[in-house]
Amino acid sequence: MIRIYNTLTQQKEEFRPIQPGKVRMYVCGMTVYDYCHLGHARVLVAFDVITRYLRHRGYAVDYVRNITDIDDKILRRASENGEVFSDLTDRMIQAMHEDEARLGVLSPTQEPRATEYIDEIVAMIHKLIQGGHAYAAENGDVYFSVDSFAGYGKLSKKKLEDLLAGARIDVQEAKRSPADFALWKAAGEGEVSWPSPWGDGRPGWHIECSAMSTCCLGDTFDIHGGGPDLLFPHHENEIAQSECATGHDFAKVWMHAGAIRVNKEKMSKSLGNFFTIREILESYPAEVVRYFLVSSHYRSQVDYSEENLAEAGRTLTKLYHALRGIVPAKAGDVAETEYDRRFMDVMDDDFNTAGAIAVLHAVANDINHHRREGRDREASESATVLVRLGAILGLLQQDPEGFFQADTGGELSAEDIEGMIQARADARKAKDFAEADRIRDDLADKGIILDDSREGTTWRRG
């Protein structure tokens, strides 16, 4: 039995999908005006693991993650760059896909773009107006009337009267109440626009997700997820407009990933502690970054620091060390073990990846024990279990030597290192041990660690 913490009810609940054996999940994706940052990576990896685990448990998962490709930020950035907005979004989408692939994030089942759903957005707005939940203002904008939805605030637990207290309407806006929000924005002279019954314009941000999610998954679906900053107002507004438009409950379970902090401060551009995924991957292997994100529960805050990433690298290295030099047994020859059951127990409890990581290290300890005792078959079978469970978290799928020798932009290439190892071997053969030690120390100074055994010398980046 899988139990999930539901933000809507603020408690863990037994997960019962609407359609047995099938999960329909929508996660708010990127607004593609810039490169993805570490906060995006947090959400991407968290829901990737959730998808992998649900599939491991036998569910057919229809995972929809949208792309917002029309927005004020996009238009401003395109104007600053002197380019067509679609050229900017196409470039950023390609970069996003590259970042996802490096982090081992599987592609969603569907990846709708807002600009592909303009007709559906217009139709939903029209239905809201007809139902008395929205109104067209004199300036060509269309607003959702928040006080027309009695359930407003049920996700964020905010009260409408508190939101209205002291709130003011911008003089440029024509809405009736300060809490009302835009569904359609009238286009200014020369701005990107689409035709509508209320004049040329473009959709507001919130209505995009309501239209895309219901078109892709139906009026009611199982899980809606996203980052912590989306809970209010974005997700609250989605609920209001969707339930008013369809007359049905929107999503059964709401899930929100935890925030990223940098050196114990909230990550933000204004503080200068803002990192893109590709900046981080210039210094750290992608699997180390993924391990760092997975090793904390998806709802917890993650404190990003050089020290914490280095520690993630050290602990992931321990797992790969356990696999090094072992040929895993064929997967079909290794039955479910106690470790498989322990892994599922912790993951069934709101996808507790921190507990799952502890199980991986317990398996690694078993492999090392079997190896020391000379029990090669048991070590091989345990290696299969480790790789099998690691796959559910998107980890440990590399050849160990490939992991240890991955080029992270260091001073020495693999060819350089192999050449120095051969020079050291030649020095040792000539009994020039001082030269051999010098080469080893030189490699160590450059972060290359040598491991000597009866089978020869292997190396890894430290």
Binding site per annotation, positions: 28, 209, 234, 238, 269
Q: Going by DSSP bridges, is the β-strand pair 181-186/142-144 parallel, antiparallel, or unpaired?
A: antiparallel
Residues linked to residue 225 through DSSP beta bridges, in sequence order: 27, 255
Question: For residue 193, which phi and psi values (nearest 5 degrees)?
Answer: -155, 165
Helices then strands, each counted (H, E), the chain: 16, 15
Cite the beta strand spans of 379-455 per DSSP E: 448-453
Can you give 201-218 as a three-state secondary structure string?
EEECHHHHHHHHHHHHHC
> Residues annotated in the binding site for Zn(2+), as ranges?
28, 209, 234, 238
N-terminal to C-terminal alpha carbon distance within the chain: 41
Cα–Cα dist 346/51, whole Å: 16
Q: Which of 222, 224, 165 is nearest to 237 (CA)?
A: 224
**Bond prior to 233 in cis (omega within 30° of 0):** yes
How crowded is residue 61: how many other Cβ atoms within 10 Å of its Cβ?
20
Tokens of 424: 């050291």
Chain-centre distance of CA 164, in angstroms? 34
Residues 223 and 255: beta-carbon distance below 8 Å: yes
Cite the beta strand spans of 116-220 per DSSP E: 134-136, 142-144, 181-186, 201-203
> Residues annotated in the binding site for ATP, as ranges?
269
